[in-house]
Amino acid sequence: MRKLHLLLLLLMISCPFIGLTQTVLADSLRHSVYAAKTQEDRLVALIDMFEEYHSINRDTLDTYGPVVKELAAASKNKRLKSLAELAYANWYYRWGWSDSSLAFIEPEIARNPVDDPATRDIYFKLDRAKAMYLGSKSRFAEALDVLYGILPKAEQYNDTLTIGLTCNTIGSIAIARQQLNEALKWINRAIVVAGNKGRHLQVLAPAYINAGYAYASLGKMDSASYFIEMGLPICRQIQNLNYVATALRIQTNIYTATKQYKLAEKALLEMISTRAKLTSANFIVEDNLQLADFYANSGQIDKAIEICKNNLKKGNIESTTNESNEVVSNDPKLRVTFLEKLAGYYKQAGRLDEYRLSLEELVSAKDSLYAANSAEAIAELQTKYDVQKKENTILQQKYDLQQKNFLFYGSIILTGLLAVIAIALFRKYRKRQKAKVQLMMEEERNQAEEAIKKAEEKERVRIASDLHDNLGAYAASMASNLSYIHLPDADERTNNALMQLANNSNAIISQLNDTIWVLKKDELSLTAISDRIKNFISRLRKSYPAVNIDVQENITIDHKLPSSQAFHLYRIMQEAVNNALKHSSGENILINIAGGNKWEVTIADDGKGFNINEVKPNAGNGLSNMMVRSSEAGWSVSWERSFPRGMVVKITSTTN
């Protein structure tokens, strides 16, 4: 007991300096601990504090965890003993030791029956904690079995708080299993149970966060943003830092998906600041890397580079932070982590000289890390050898010949062990050197591929320019000169030939323009193809004034197609429209261009229609050309009768 009192006294003295950056609620609970006058009061205060384990720094939990154990062992209150086991289990859960957490609480579930009003609330807390621990290990079937068992009992005793929390946890498991619509069903039930006036804020906060995550995963960003904006203030109100950090992470993803990069950056930085209150500094390295990746992926590559450079500054201390919050690190392992990222960002930015220098520094850092590890391993072996040698000397004094034999065989074993380790280290070093050479060869291959790609791009542009400047000019001149030819005395055959020649020259110009349009681009979007087909239709309307031709766009994702595929799609659409105009006898043609997860194009008319299976092989090349083009592009094309009349041509992507 004297030891326990001394420990509590030390904690009371140090308490004002532990976790000062946490929530007001956490600080208040911590002050209640050292303000308690009896051991039982202290245990109650500690249990209350551990109820908020999601919002308390893990170092604080490490400080008080052993105290909870000692106070519970000394207590004769069965209720407090069970709640102390739950507090202890939650401490272990924060370290990721869910199996140990289960071992702590499972005996307590049997000691707190649900049909006893005095222990019912403890039973529900323990059982929900069990489901949570199982879920954290992806043992979803077992977790759901526990949760489905809780619900009827909670409904029997009209415990709406437990019902709401349980429904939300079932929804969380459904999200983890990618059953998003099923998840929303349970989450909405939790929100309804909580009540419109927020009767149970501890239910609404995680339910709104889960709803936001589910809708974001479904691509419904407006709904996702609505629920996160509803849930985040509640998370702050109940001062649950884990909920706040999770909501900010989801909000970052929403803002990034909707290209609101400034807001995404603000949410991400606040998330990192919040998580820093919950974990040790080791986790901040991962947050900095996540922040750097965000900048790189949002087009702010210079900021990503700056973050890596700031984390690579050297100083006199291996790892510390000075008054200006500048990170100083000589740790080889940490430097390797950031140098790998930095090299990638320099390459992404096209700063090849800095990319080369960063690769050289990365190789040097890896060699330093290898040398440090090797030196440490050899030093450890040498120390063990020296200790063994001293022990052998002492034994030699006592046992003479027996100890001499022991020293001899021990030396042989240790020498052999050192030799084996030396060989292993050499092989590891040789493997690193081989990997380094392979990396350099891969880089050279990538640069060669990039050079070929640029050369192809340059040649394509050159061909387009030649077509435009030479063939295009001749074709335009031909069409212009034909317009000046008038033969009053020419017979009908000659006039028809001149008219056909004029039409063919105009067709050459049109086809040539389409080819140049494709060649000038490496890739074309659905919107660009749609605009081109609109131009084509505007030229046709003069020849078919009685036919109404419309283009509809339903493009949520503007897919990019390689130029060759874009040309195929354009030609297929042209052929489909021409066929409808010439053969359908319809009055309306509707072109619909849709772009979602996949793109699809339909050309529908209200004409007489036809059966594709009854078309004769010698009926023309139009349909066969459409099939060949779609096959070369890797798409499917189909002709379907529409009712009551008409035809629909459908081109469907099978690759993107």
**Residue 254, both tokens:** 């929403």
Predicted confidence at residue 315, as pLDDT, reads: 57
Report the C-alpha dihedral over residues 277, 282, 288, 290, rounded to 10 degrees: -90
Q: How confident is the model at residue 472 (pLDDT cuts 50, 70, 90)?
A: very low
Q: What count of other Cβ atoms lies within 10 Å of the Cβ of residue 471?
A: 15
Give the C-alpha separation, 393 to 398, whole Å: 9
Identify the pLDDT of residue 397. Answer: 56
Mean pLDDT of the region 99-121: 90
Q: What is the pTM of this model?
A: 0.47
108: left (phi over 0), alpha (psi -120 to 50) or beta: alpha
- CA 219 from chain centre, in angstroms, equals 13
Res 589: pLDDT = 93
Q: What is the pLDDT of residues 26-39, one digit of tens each?
A: 677 777 776 878 88
Q: Which residues pair with 548 in a beta bridge?
A: 588
Contact 564, 529 (CB under 8 A): no
- For the stretch 320-348, pLDDT in tens is 444 444 445 566 777 788 888 888 888 88
Task: Dump pLDDT digits (tens) for 485-531.
Answer: 666 776 777 766 666 666 666 666 666 666 666 655 678 888 988 98
Q: Please tell me the predicted confidence (pLDDT) of residue 453.
A: 57
Task: Note the pLDDT tens digit of each residue in 422-458.
Answer: 888 878 877 887 787 778 777 767 776 665 555 555 5
CA distance 6 to 24: 27
pLDDT at 12 (0 to 100): 38
Asked if the model's pLDDT at residue 476 lies above 80, the reply is no
Residues 117-172: pLDDT tens digits? 999 999 999 999 999 889 888 888 899 999 999 999 999 999 999 999 999 999 99
> How confident is the model over 255-298, as pLDDT tens digits?
888 888 889 888 888 888 887 777 654 455 656 776 777 788 77
Report the alpha-carbon distance of residue 182 to residue 189 in Å, rounded: 11
- The DSSP call for residue 17 is G
Q: Is there a contact between 565 and 607 (Cβ–Cβ < 8 Å)?
A: no
What three-state secondary structure class fits 361? Answer: helix
Place of tokens 């056909």: 500
Class (C level, CATH) for 523-653: alpha beta
Q: What is the CA radius of gyration of the chain?
A: 37
Q: How many residues does the chain have?
A: 656
3-state secondary structure of 478: helix
Task: Read off the pLDDT band of 605 (50, 70, 90).
Answer: very high
DSSP string across 186-255: HHHHHHHHHTTTTS-HHHHHHHHHHHHHHHHHTT-HHHHHHHHHHHHHHHHHHT-HHHHHHHHHHHHHHH
pLDDT single digits (tens) 406-431: 667 777 888 888 888 888 887 887 78
Instruction: Please write the tens of the pLDDT for every residue from 48-67.
Output: 877 877 777 777 778 888 88
What is the spatial distance between Cα 100 and Cα 105, in angstroms, rounded to a whole number?
A: 9
Instruction: Give percent of the chain above pLDDT 70.
Output: 73
Work out the mean pLDDT of the chain and round it to a whole number.
78
In the chain, domain spans: 434-520, 523-653
* 234 burial type by CB count under 10 A (0-12 exposed, 13-18 middle, 19+ buried): buried
Task: Name the band, by pLDDT with cuts 50, 70 and 90, for residue 15.
Answer: very low
Cβ atoms 174, 180 nearer than 8 A: yes
Per-residue tokens: 273:
């600041």
Q: Tokens in use for 344?
A: 């990638």
- Counting beta carbons within 10 angstroms of the beta carbon of residue 593, is it exposed (0 to 12), middle (13 to 18) or buried (19 or more)? buried
Assess whether pLDDT exceeds 80 at residue 624: yes
Give the residue from 120, 117, 40, 128 showing the smallest Cα distance to 81.
Answer: 40
What does the alpha-carbon distance between residue 340 and residue 115 come to, in Å, rounded to a whole number?
59
Residue 220 has pLDDT above 90, yes or no: yes
319 — pLDDT class (breaks 50, 70, 90): very low
Give 638's Cβ-side CA count (13 Å radius): 8
Percent of the chain at pLDDT above 90? 20
Beta 523-525 vs 560-562: how paired, if at all?
A: antiparallel
Highest mean pLDDT among 44-53, 360-369, 548-557: 548-557
Residue 290, C-beta contacts closer than 8 angstroms, at least 6 positions apart: 268, 272
Rounded Cα gap, residues 269 and 275, in angstroms: 10
462 burial class (0-12, 13-18, 19+ CB within 10 angstroms)?
Answer: exposed
Contacts by residues 477-483 (CB-CB < 8 Å, ≥ 24 positions apart): 478/505, 478/508, 479/505, 479/506, 479/509
The pLDDT value given to residue 118: 92
Closest CA to 362 of 347, 382, 380, 377: 347
Q: What is the pLDDT of residue 604?
A: 93
Positive or negative, the CA dihedral 258, 261, 265, 267 is negative
Any idea what DSSP says for residue 76? -
State residue 69's pLDDT score. 84
**3 state DSSP class of 321:** strand
Reduce the secondary structure of 584-653 to three states and give it as a string. CCCCEEEEEEEECCCEEEEEEECCCCCCHHHCCCCCCCHHHHHHHHHHHHCEEEEEEECCCCCEEEEEEE
